[in-house]
Amino acid sequence: MSIEAILKQDIQKAIQQHFDISAEDIILQPTKKEFEGFYTFVTFPLAKSARKAPAEIGQIIGNYLKDNSLVVDDFNVVQGFLNINLKDSTWLNLFDQIISDTAFGTFSANGQSVMVEFSSPNTNKPLHLGHLRNNFLGDSLSKILEASGYDVVKTCLVNDRGIHICKSMLAYRELGNGETPESSGIKGDHLAGKYYVKFDIEYKSQIRELVAQGMPEDEAAKKAPWMLEAQQLLLSWENGDPETVALWQKMNSWVYEGFSETYNKIGVGFDKTYYESNTYLLGKDIIEEGIEKNVFYRKSDNSVWIDLAEEGLDEKLVLRGDGTSVYITQDLGTTELKNNDYHNNRYLWVVGNEQDYHFKVLFAILKRLGRQYAEGCYHISYGMVDLPSGKMKSREGTVVDADDLISQMIQTASDRTQELGKIDDFESKEANQLYNQLALGALKYFLLKVDPKKRMLFNPEESIDFQGHTGPFIQYTYARIRSIMRKAEQSGIESKLPSSKYEMHKAEKELIFMLSQYPARVLSAANDFAPSVISLYAFELAKVYNQFYAEVSIFSDPDPEAVQFRVALSKVVSETIRKALGLLGIEVPERM
């Protein structure tokens, strides 16, 4: 039985004995730092039924625990808060449980499966900063869910068709002059993005010309020659025109090669990739089924709609009058396809919050259609990422490319590390590996430490600070501990528990308490779909260890038991930091 379970059981006994009331749901919380103690039990809810003041209730329960509990050492009461300290033997037993659990913080299979769909890139441009937040969220969520016992499938839906793709194709056809990634030295996805920007420049120029001729701007936007040509190109693609399809395949192949390089760089991969070009026609059969079930209805122009007023939503078009699909049609079909492929218990979509309404509609329609899997569908909504310079716009070429940002971060990591002068003995290969680890650690941590729902400002300089609330600070703490472990090994010092007579330092207790919280944080992050929970935990653990390091001597303590115990503590902390950062997709350096 865990320490918390024993404590809860003892508190229940105290309540039953002294107040003759039942309190089945005992909740413990960590004691606030300004008070003495580790676990706190709030007595306010008992005041009415016990007919006593909260502070008096706390005093009575505290006295019972001190006299009867095998784990409690002392207590104090602050108003209605009973703050509890544990015996040294209890802390040692707790640490013994932690080091004996080879899978500490990883849960056995729970019999549930989950699909996490993320990334969802367009093949008309490279991945950018916003995509990085998406990829890091999806990848980290997958790792956290897997650690909490789920069978996880990672999927990606590539948006490889549509008018936006045709814009890049048209600009390349007209202005490309046979340019290729090889001939230009430009990465394939960047090359496609270059022509997406060129389309926008020419398109806006054509609009200005039409407006100068007296045409209203909104009409000019529709009748600009390149917009009409792009629309025709889309029709040609949908009709299977060989020349159009060949151009589409060629440019997409460049983009996929570029994407693959970026995914490898950031350590992200997928179990299954779906392509919109294969799924955009799906869903029409579901619409017909819905008409038969009176879920959908036709209007006079033959278009098909659903009224979602009962769900607090609007009427929604699900099929155009000419029989062509809209996005919701495609998503209905693709979701059905994914369920047929994997039969998961849960389906997660990691998609920006501009699509909040779309997913509410999708899930509402699935429920109306009677799809059982609809109850397990979740939209993991996240806010946009801004830079100090402002918003990003792909078509105007003001977006921050993921590749460029990573290169800049690696250079910054190199500059900062060399300024500290601590890697003079590193071979160039080891140094470059360290720069990569620090750069990606800084990027991933900064983008994951914020609650996903919040819009955020990314500051590259702040993200790579070795002293702040950053990935490199935690990575540095890990490397420091690994240095301690190497010194212990060279000195022949074993890492082991002390005897039951050992008097523990408060910093040792705080470290064990922090370690003990890790499994609960993993479950919390999984239940809330929030990698930020793990980010904060890793930072807190690193801070508590650095406080421990400052307050106690590891190697120069005259008591051999203290030295061995502190080496053991350090070892478990390093392993837990590695696990926690691993759930964020962050690697740790063995030395810095």
Q: What is the pLDDT of residues 542-584, one digit of tens each?
A: 999 999 999 999 999 999 999 999 999 999 999 999 999 999 9
Mean pLDDT score, 353-382: 97
- Cα 1 to chain centroid distance, Å, stands at 32
Among the listed residues 395, 330, 367, the one whose alpha carbon sits nearest the alpha carbon of residue 128: 395
Q: Name, in order, each residue with C-beta under 8 angstroms of 437's C-beta and a sequence gap of 6 or more.
A: 475, 586, 587, 588, 589
Task: Say if residues 134 and 96 touch (Cβ distance below 8 Å).
Answer: no
**The predicted structure's pLDDT at residue 396:** 47
Q: pLDDT tens, 71-104?
A: 999 999 999 999 999 999 999 999 999 999 999 9
CA 47 to CA 37: how far, in whole Å? 22
SS3 category, 74: strand
Look up residue 406 and give its two tokens: 């990573």
List, as one string, the DSSP characters of 78-112: ETTEEEEEE-HHHHHHHHHHHHH-TTTT-PPP-S-
DSSP, res 87: -
For the domain made up of 113-386, give the CATH fold.
Rossmann fold (3.40.50)
Task: Please indicate whether residue 171 or residue 48 has the higher confidence score (pLDDT).
Answer: 171
Tokens read off for 561:
């038991």
Kindly state the average pLDDT of the residues 390-398: 47
pLDDT tens digits, residue range 104-118? 999 999 999 999 999
Residue 379: predicted pLDDT: 98
Specify the pLDDT at position 335: 97
User: Region 438-453: what's the mean pLDDT?
Assistant: 95
The dotted CATH code for 402-584 is 1.10.730.10
Please, are residues 481 and 570 in contact by the beta-carbon 8 Å criterion? yes
Q: What is the pLDDT of residues 273-286, one digit of tens each?
A: 999 999 988 999 99
Residue 390 has pLDDT above 60, yes or no: no
Report the pLDDT averaged over residues 358-378: 98
Give residue 388's pLDDT band: very low, low, confident or very high (50, 70, 90): confident
How far apart CA 244 and CA 166 sit, in angstroms, is 9
Task: Note the pLDDT of residue 398.
Answer: 54
The lowest-confidence range among 174-188, 220-234, 237-251, 462-476 is 462-476
Percent of all residues in the chain with a pLDDT value above 90, rounded to a whole number = 86
Measure CA 340 to chain center. 26
Residue type at 457 in one-letter notation: L
Residue 422: its pLDDT value, please? Answer: 67
pLDDT above 60 for 395: no
573: Cβ contacts below 8 Å, ≥ 6 apart: 481, 511, 515, 541, 545
536 pLDDT more than 80: yes
Amino acid (1-letter code) at residue 302: N
pLDDT for 417:
87
Q: Determine the Cα–Cα distance for residues 412 and 401; give it in Å rounded to an integer.
A: 17
Instruction: Give the distance, in angstroms, between the CA of residue 37 and the centroid of all CA atoms in the same chain.
Output: 33
Over range 190-208, report the average pLDDT.
96
Q: Give the pLDDT confidence score for residue 15 in this predicted structure.
A: 94
pLDDT at position 421: 73
Question: What span, in angstroms and rounded, lies between the C-alpha atoms of 341 and 427?
Answer: 48
Walk across the sheet containing 304-307 and list its strands. 297-298, 304-307, 315-319
Average pLDDT, the chain: 94
Beta partners for residue 305, in sequence order: 297, 317
Q: Quick one: pLDDT band at residue 355, thresholds 50, 70, 90?
A: very high
* Position 397 confidence tier, pLDDT thresholds 50, 70, 90: very low
Find residue 378's DSSP bridge partners.
348
Give yes or no for residue 394 having a pLDDT over 50: no
Q: Is pLDDT of 393 > 80?
A: no
What's the confidence (pLDDT) of residue 392?
Answer: 42
pLDDT at 399: 67
Q: pLDDT: is 566 or 394 the higher one?
A: 566
Identical topology for domains 3-86 and 402-584: no
pLDDT above 80 (res 22): no
Instruction: Using a pLDDT cut of 70, give the percent of the chain over it.
Output: 98
Query: Are the CB atoms for 444 and 472 separated by under 8 Å?
Result: no
241: left (phi over 0), alpha (psi -120 to 50) or beta: beta
Which tokens hold the place of 287?
């619409």
Annotation: CATH topology of 3-86: Gyrase A; domain 2 (3.30.1360)
User: So where are the chain's domains?
Assistant: 3-86, 113-386, 402-584
Evaluate whether 192 touches 259 at the Cβ level (below 8 Å): no
Residue 498 has pLDDT above 60, yes or no: yes
Vertex 326: Cα angle to 320 and 328 (nearest 5): 125
